[in-house]
Amino acid sequence: MSLFEKHQETILRAVKANKERGFYAHYPENPKAYGEEAPAAGLHAFQVSMNTDFSELLQQQPIRFEGEEVSPYLQTGLGIRYPVFADKVVVARSKEAFAEWRKISVQERAGILVESLDRMRNRFFEIAHATQHTTGQSFMMSFQASGPHAADRALEAVAMGFEELTRFPAETIWDKPMGKFNITLRKTWKPVPKGISLVIGCSTFPTWNTVPGMYASLITGNPVIIKPHPKAVLPIAIVVAELQKVLAEHHLNPNICQLAVDSTKFPIAKEFVHHPDVKLIDYTGNSVFGNWLEAQQILGKEVFTEKAGVNPVVIDSTNDLKAMCDNLAFSVSLYAGQMCTAPQNFFVPATGIQTAEGHKTYDEVVEALVSAIKGIAEHPKMGPGVLAALQNDATADRVKAVAASAKKVLLGSNSILNEEFTEARTATPLVMEVDAADKAAYEKELFGPIALIIKTADTKMSVQLAKELTSVHGAISCGVYCTDTALCEQIADEMAEIFVPVSFNLTGPIYLNQHAAFSDFHVTGGNAAGNASFTDPNYVNRRFVWVGQRYPVQ
């Protein structure tokens, strides 16, 4: 049985899920679904990997080994070193592998890629510990985001690529009547991959943000170079290693997917970007580098970016003030705001809002929201689990700097004790009030646990400001609380004009931060927060071109 035959049902079900856009998860997010022995085995595997050289990659002859990952919980280095290769060598090997991978059928590629995800599944717990101790996410978030959720996003990309690559027939007979005779041609079409793909990873979501571009390029026949963030290598290194093993087992060049590790002192991303054989670039990270990458498109590079955004929340009215505030407080606090979808700017009318309990003044709304945030931060069990740890010192320094420059602090940011990891680098959300006229204070992303409450004249002004900011600086998420159906439709239409998705009246255990595979298009690709959306057809179609041939039929 071929790997495609083995995984055909999974692939076709994922294709169906992409079309339906309802809830679908091939990989369960409940840890109990993976067996009683899996948690202990995963922890042991992670512990064994510490203070060793990572030797699972099937990439030969490194020039040296190095690594600089530091656990945000332990505040000590993981001691894991990774093989380092010269960028020209990596590209040369990728180019050689391209000649082989591009000729593999889409069915065979899909089978290999889904098999690699099943191998990844066997290491979800190990990947979770690796993620926790490189990103600072809580263990449960690390498990779900870097394990099943990431694998589903990868499968989603494989399914979208499979659908697009098989959309048209491989060949047909074209017969045109010409009166007394016909012109008959045999026409063939082939999807041709564009070339070497570079995927530049980020430090906060090293697999979830990496595997969509990685698998989208691979399913479309492009070899991939994964350039992880030097502070978060291990989670994606495990994924790459498992894929390389599957490739080798099926007599394919493992360099079809390579890991290219660098350091913060000597970064190599630009060397790869400048190489003429690198045709595709996926990137998640800050806007400065992302904007520079997008400019490379004039040189013939296809660039897919997810950058910074200024995510707004417009509060007009609500049927449940407490439920609204609890939901928003959790969204602000989750992973200490270190998510590209976390809300930052909260627009509240000075006249207050209408609720099921009657009219609430501006001060009452703000007090309720601040109280909810404070309640999470001060909860001895919930606080450490929700806030987790800060990935790096720069985020902690940013919180301090913003607090020092704030005109009115409503809730200060403090460290909290994590009883399991007493050295963890933590910070509770900083909440400030900002004058609507002071746009410089809230027009850029303040990455981390920072929330700005902006007093506006009314909801019309709130929407106007939210729209104005996101049209210039972009947004990945937008929250609106409003009980007026007509007004909701108006706001949705206005935000759609600038390509910003809106979530209305979220309460309970569903948050602005969460984007689900097979349903939510993560980043629209239409505003300044990023030029690509995973996973829509354009995300895979830009990675190959259709080339046709015509032959006369005698």
Q: How far apart are CA 278 and CA 292, in angstroms?
A: 16
The yes-or-no verdict on residue 51 having pLDDT over 90 is: yes
In this structure, the strands spanning 317-318 and 353-355 are parallel
Q: How far apart are CA 142 and CA 133, in angstroms?
A: 9
The yes-or-no verdict on residue 228 having pLDDT over 90 is: yes
Q: Is residue 424 part of a domain?
A: yes
Q: Which domain holds residue 419?
A: 312-504
CA triple 10-14-19, angle to 5 deg: 155
Q: Which residues pair with 184 in a beta bridge?
A: 175
Residues 6+ apart with CB under 8 A from 71: 77, 78, 133, 134
Pair (272, 224) in one structural domain: yes
pLDDT for res 554? 79
Pair (283, 432) in one structural domain: no
Pair (116, 223) in one structural domain: yes
Q: How far apart are CA 320 and CA 339, in angstroms?
A: 26
Pair (204, 343) in one structural domain: no
pLDDT for res 1? 87
Query: Nearest CA to 442 among 460, 468, 461?
Result: 468
The last residue of a domain, from among 307, 335, 370: 307
Residues 6+ apart with CB under 8 A from 76: 70
The yes-or-no verdict on residue 124 having pLDDT over 90 is: yes
Q: Is residue 380 part of a domain?
A: yes
Listed in sequence order, the DSSP H helices in 21-101 are 38-49, 87-101
Pair (411, 301) in one structural domain: no
Q: How far apart are CA 75 and CA 82, in angstroms?
A: 20
DSSP per residue over 78-111, as a string?
---BEEE--HHHHHHHHHHHHHHHTTS-HHHHHH
CA 281 to chain CA centroid, Å, is 15
- pLDDT tens figures, 434-464: 999 999 999 999 999 999 999 999 999 999 9
Q: How far apart are CA 93 and CA 297, in angstroms?
A: 24
Q: Is residue 535 part of a domain?
A: no
The last residue of a domain, from among 251, 276, 307: 307
The yes-or-no verdict on residue 229 having pLDDT over 90 is: yes
Q: Is residue 45 part of a domain?
A: yes
- Please tell me the pTM assigned to this model: 0.96
Residues 6+ apart with CB under 8 A from 553: 173, 184, 185, 186
pLDDT for res 239? 98
Q: How far apart are CA 403 and CA 128, in angstroms?
A: 33
The last residue of a domain, from among 281, 307, 333: 307
- pLDDT tens figures, 286-321: 999 999 999 999 888 999 999 988 999 999 999 999
Pair (167, 62) in one structural domain: yes
Pair (302, 339) in one structural domain: no
Q: Which residues pair with 547 in a beta bridge?
A: 190
Pair (283, 205) in one structural domain: yes
CB 66 within 8 A of CB 261: yes
- Average pLDDT of 423-433? 97
Pair (369, 271) in one structural domain: no
Q: Is residue 383 part of a domain?
A: yes
- Average pLDDT of 50-55? 97
- pLDDT tens figures, 66-110: 999 999 999 999 999 999 999 999 999 999 999 999 999 999 999
CA-to-CA dists, residue 511 to 330, 333, 493, angstroms: 8, 11, 21
CATH code of residue 254: 3.40.605.10
Structure tokens at 365: 């709304």
pLDDT for res 54? 98
Pair (319, 404) in one structural domain: yes
Helix (H), strand (E) at residue 358: strand 358-360
CATH code of residue 493: 3.40.309.10
- pLDDT tens figures, 479-532: 999 999 999 999 999 999 999 999 999 999 999 999 999 999 999 999 999 999
pLDDT for res 159? 98
pLDDT for res 106? 97
pLDDT for res 391? 96
Q: Is residue 509 part of a domain?
A: no
Provide the residue type at 232 as one letter. A
- pLDDT tens figures, 137-153: 999 999 999 999 999 99
Pair (387, 285) in one structural domain: no
In the chain, DSSP finds a helix count (H) and a strand count (E) of 18, 20
Residue with tokens 């399991």: 420
**Cα separation of the two ends of the chain:** 39
Count how many domains the chain has. 2
Q: Is residue 510 part of a domain?
A: no
Pair (71, 89) in one structural domain: yes
CB 129 within 8 A of CB 139: yes
Q: Which residues pair with 455 in a beta bridge?
A: 348, 435
